[in-house]
Each structure stands twice: as structure tokens, then as C-alpha cells.
Structure 1
Amino acid sequence: MHDFHVSVIDLEHDTKAQRLEISQRIFIDDMEKALINFDKDKEYNIITTEDFTELNPLIEKYMLERFKIYVDDKEEEISYLGSKVEGDVLMCFIEVPKIKKMKSLRVENLVLFEMFSDQINLVHITTEAGKKSLKLSVRQPSDQLDFK
């Protein structure tokens, strides 16, 4: 157990592949609580799960309902690629294809906000222009960067 509720997103714009590559780190115990709340039919123990075949569709549904990307004020289609366990963290991998250039990027991340009023979702963004970060919270679930 931990005393703080935080997730960390690394978002990188790969200009050669023309896509946004996203990974989100979420504490496993927090995600288990969220999945139990999301799908009340089952109990989940991510740490002991060896095959994510059954669990990944549920994680995907949960994530896609709560995570949105807007490029130049247009909501983009997100592809959930999968997840894996690293220590006490669940790594979720997401991709946004067909992103050649960006004038603006808005990230909306409501992950775990329904569970913890003190949840913070940090977003570290790497583009050709450099690195910037956003701090999203229940009070401010989305924020935007403008690139000139």
C-alpha cells in the first residue's frame, strides 16, 4: 500500500513513424480497485496474472473510457496495445497513429479519479520542441500544450 495516488504517463511524438507513443504507469493495487469498481462481477489480482488475454480487454475498456487525446482540437483515435507488470506498477501501452505535426495537444486523463480524490496523473511529453509536463487532477482533468 502507498500513501499517495499518482500515475505517470510518458508521451512521445515519433515524427518518423508519425504517431504518439504512450505508456502509463499505474500502481497495481489502485488499478485492481478501479477494475473491481468498473466490473463488479469479478475480483482481480494483477500481480499474479501470467496471461493478460482475459484481463487486457477490461483494462482497454477502462482506459479508453477515461483517456483522451486531442490534436489540434480534434479527438484522436487511440489504440490500446497491451499491458505488463513491472514490480508494483502496471504499464499500459497506447498509441495514436497518423500524427504528422501538431499545433496543439490536449490530454484528458480521468484514470482513477473515480477512486481517489487526491489522484494526480502526471504527463511527460516529448516532442521535437523539447520536453514539457502536465499535472492533471480531479479539479483539472485535462490540459493543453500549444506548439508554435
Structure 2
Amino acid sequence: MKSFNYYLLLVVVPLLAFTTAHKYYVSITEVHYVKEKESVQIITRIFIDDLEKLVRARFDESITLAVKNESEKVDFYLEKYLTEKIKIKINGKDAVLQFIGKEYEDDVAICYIEIPKIDHISEIEVQNLVLFDIFEEQQNVVRLNINDKKKSFILFKENDKGLLKLD
């Protein structure tokens, strides 16, 4: 009987542990300045299921991401949302973000954004509000690599901006 209880415990405890798994809400945004191209290149990685929940809530309930026949509207929705929620100031001036496109890798959507015609950066401020309107626990990691200076921020609803001064 003792061995039966022991084996039952070995089976039941792990099952209970995984039924209350915690979900993390995080995105990672990398911002690189490519001086030779006079371009700020931005790569944002967001979990597909979180992004799909957002697109369905804000734009179209019938949208499914990362499927073979994905709606052509997805890029339009992502461009609209990301250019609203990611704000960048370069040298104190608002930058205009251009959505380049996206691809999927495993369970992550990788979105590409660019700010062209930037010949010098003395200061850059990044505000990232992505998914704050859907998930209270959302955190956005921002990694800057500007003129060989690197800095990282963890942004959340109450602290949604990061600043890097270079001069």
C-alpha cells in the first residue's frame, strides 16, 4: 500500500504543477543604427498567440496568424498597430517608422521596421506600448545598439520609455 501511495504521489504532483502554469507576456525589440545606410533598423519579436489576440480584439475577430492562407489584411493591421505603439525620438524629434514586413519563426512573429535618412544620432528615446492595452503584465524589452553603445531597458505600463544619450 505504501508503494502505491508513493507512485500515486509521483504521478499526481507533476500533473497538478503543470495545470497552474504561469503565462509570461513579453516582447523583445532591438534597435540598431546602421551608419553606412543612414538607417535605424528595428526588429520586434512578439509571441504569435499574443499578437493574434490583439489583432482579433482591435481589428478583426476572424483573423488567424501564421497560417498558410493568412489574410492580406494582417500586414496592414500590424503596421497600423506597431507604428501607433512604438514611438521613437531621434535628437529630440519624432521619427517616422516604416513597417517593412514580418515573418514567423516557431511561436514568434518577427516584425521589421525602419527609420531611413538618419545621418547622426546624439540621443534616442524609445517608447514601446506594444500589448499594454491587452495584457496588464506585459513587459517590453528594448535593446539599443547605437554608435557601438549598447543599452537595454525593460519597459512596462508605468515606465514605458527608455533614453540613450550619446554625446
Q: TM-score range by the shorter chain?
A: over 0.9
| The structure with more helix, counted as a fraction of residues | 2
**1:57 is matched by which residue type in structure 2?**
F
- For the residue of structure 1 that corresponds to 2:125, the secondary structure is strand
Task: Tell me how far 1:49 sits from its aligned partner.
Answer: 4.2
Which of 1 and 2 has higher RCO (CA within 8 Å, sep 6+)? 1
1:26-45 correspondence to structure 2 within 5 Å: 26-39=46-59, 41-45=60-64
- For the residue of structure 2 that corresponds to 1:122, the secondary structure is strand
Matched, 1:4 2:27: no
- The 2-side partners of 1:28 and 1:58 are apart by 14
Tell me what 2:95 maps to: 76
- The 2-side partners of 1:44 and 1:8 are apart by 23
Cα pair distance change 1:3/1:74, threshold 3 Å: same
Task: Tell me how far 1:42 sits from its aligned partner.
Answer: 2.8
Task: Tell me how far 1:146 sits from its aligned partner.
Answer: 0.7
Cα pair distance change 1:63/1:49, threshold 3 Å: farther
- For the residue of structure 2 that corresponds to 1:46, the secondary structure is coil
**2:160 is matched by which residue type in structure 1?**
P
| The structure with more strand, counted as a fraction of residues | 1
String of CA shifts for 1:78-97, please: whole Å, max 9, x gaps: 10001111110001100001
Tell me what 2:157 maps to: 138
- The 1-side partners of 2:86 and 2:161 are apart by 10
- The 2-side partners of 1:30 and 1:126 are apart by 26
- The 2-side partners of 1:91 and 1:74 are apart by 26
Of 62, 81, 87, the residue aligned with 2:106 is 87
- The 2-side partners of 1:15 and 1:76 are apart by 16
Task: Tell me how far 1:50 sits from its aligned partner.
Answer: 4.5
Of 117, 138, 148, the residue aligned with 1:98 is 117
CA radius of gyration, larger in: 2
Tell me what 1:14 maps to: 34
Q: Percent identity?
A: 31
**1:36 is matched by which residue type in structure 2?**
R
- For the residue of structure 2 that corresponds to 1:16, the secondary structure is helix
Aligned length: 147
- Structure 1: which 5+ residue stretches go unaligned? none
Q: Is the 8 A contact 2:128 2:140 kept in 1?
A: yes
Q: TM-score, normalised by structure 1?
A: 0.93
Computed over aligned residues only, the root mean square deviation of the Cα atoms, in angstroms, reads 1.6
